[in-house]
A and B are shown apart, each in its own frame.
Chain A
Amino acid sequence: MLSTDQRDPAAIPRVLLTLLCLALLWPGLRLSELDPGVLLQAENRQQMAGFVSAFWPPAYDAGFLDLLLTATVQTLAVATAGMSLALLLAVPASLLASRALSLRAASSAGRLGPWSRASRLPVRGLLIFLRSVPEIVWALLFVRAVGLGPTAGVLAIAITYSGMLGKVYAEIFESVDQRPAHALLQAGSSRLSAFLYGTLPEAASEVVSYTVYRWECAVRASVVMGFVGAGGLGQQIDLSMRMFAGAEVASMLLTFLLLVVLADLLSRFLRGRLA
């Protein structure tokens, strides 16, 4: 018996798995038509250099800064309004989809019956549908419905992000220790109270961190949607690029960097407060 245990029994599967990953990578590279050599061709290098050289120095005249400020505030407003609307749908949906609030699971060591499982399927399905359509498609749809402007961006973010937030919240609620909530349910508390007193204290920092990260993503997404006419920084970047005003694009990218840094600091601060 001793002789067989001297070799690591997991060694061969691991080597095979590594080889399999490498073997799958090659067709992937071929299919995506990735060829970094193109970047180094002289003509392409000139093109890129011309595009980037126009970025310096960034534009900072008063008129443009005024425009930039308006666009930035509009982008932030679109992202924030979209997130708020998304939360309105995501929070109840996550509570319905999560196993953390099942009365039955509380008295059977966390296992769900077939009925509790089935009743969560429609909500899960709704969340999957909401996030499976990219926000840019929703934006194109709403631009046709409500016309050019930030409203289309807000609605598009609200719909896609409610799907993402709802799914991830539900998973966070399930991943924390369930015993506090189960103990409360077993002492007769309502399901929402058990959630507030048993699950939320543990889940809060994860939820806040993910929400701030999604808000940051919403800022980025609202810029992309600006390209299809949903207002904000994106629309300005689109306009400046069409006018070959590289200096303006550079200023806007710097603003953008600043927003992401701010979101990161905010997330770190809130996590620190809740840890």
Chain B
Amino acid sequence: MSIRVQGASVRHGQVQALSALDLQIGQGERVAIIGPSGAGKSSLLHLMATAVPPSGGRLELLGEQPWVLSARARQRLRARVGLVHQAPPLPPRQRVVTAVLAGRLGQWGTLRGLLNLIHPGDIPGARAALAELGMADKLFAQCGQLSGGQLQRVGIARALYQRPEVLLTDEPVSAMDPVLADHSLALLNRHAQAHGVTLVASLHAVELALAHFPRIVGIRAGQVAFDCPAAAVSEAMLDALYANEQLAPPVASTASPQVQIPRC
């Protein structure tokens, strides 16, 4: 079992992002997480990436409990897990080659990291990771000059270069055009299948999730709404998942007899 989440809760201040959530993901599985905005998809991914500790419940990752380990052992465990952020946090002045090579900082010692900063050691490796995403020409560009979709591809390239055993991606294609999004997801899936990597992706586009991932997990209000193979996902399940009581039905243009008082 690659990831085991047992009754885990995550709380951000007053907001209960996840409440007693259970989820098990096996070695080499490819899972898409879908759900409405604010349902807790990102919180779940950050929890699984050990970016936030659970406020309750248990997390088991690659057979170990990260929050029981010592800080040093936890860093070693983290080096085996990759997280692609929705908007990859990269320093604007950092060059793309450095940003990609930074993926392996967890496996390199500090000294190798320092040397790599002075003289990038594995340029072919970084170029290969970027070339798969059509970004080889941007190898020496600065991150600040890239668009949102290009930054997301740099983030994916960094995670691929890291060669993690568990690859978690948080809305990895949200800023890409449909063709690129399709290509990038296909690439992630190919990579996962070829290397036996456990792949988890949160996605807004349901059709992309159904097309690329064999297993779909629906998250709603911090809990698992459904968890089934892609073929078993029905229209009714999706309607129930994305139902939004907060949104008023479209109002007819004549129906506003009250005086509007601006309050600002």
Contact = CB atoms under 8 A, between A and B. Distances in A.
Given A189-B102, A194-B105, A183 B85 contact: yes
A3 interface: no
A2 B259 CA distance: 14
Interface residues on A, range: 20 to 34
A190 B102 contact: no
Nearest to B67: A107
B135 interface: no
Interface in B87-132: 88-94, 98, 102-103, 105-110, 113-114, 117
A201 B105 contact: no
B94 A193 contact: no
Given A108-B52, A183-B89, A197 B78 contact: no
Contacts of B106: 187-189
Interface stretch (B35-43, B69-77, B197-205, B247-255): B69-77
Nearest to B51: A186
B82 to A, nearest CB: 7
Interface string B59-81: 00000000000010001111111
Contacts of A189: 75, 79, 102, 105-106, 113
Contacts of B114: 192-193, 196
B173 interface: no
B211 to A, nearest CB: 28
A197 B90 CA distance: 9
Interface string A1-38: 11000000000000000000000000000000000000
Interface residues of B, number: 39
Interface stretch (A43-51, A89-97, A174-182): A174-182
A55 to B, nearest CB: 46
A47 B90 CA distance: 62
B93 A201 contact: yes
Interface string A94-119: 00000000010011110000000000
14 contacts: A103-B75, A186-B49, A186-B50, A186-B51, A187-B78, A187-B79, A188-B77, A188-B79, A189-B113, A192-B110, A193-B102, A193-B110, A201-B94, A202-B91
Interface of A: 1-2, 103, 106-109, 177, 179-180, 182-190, 192-194, 196-198, 201-202, 204, 274-275
Interface of B: 12, 49-53, 71, 75-83, 85, 88-94, 98, 102-103, 105-110, 113-114, 117, 162, 261, 263
Ranked 4 nearest A-B pairs via Cβ: A188-B106, A188-B79, A189-B105, A179-B89
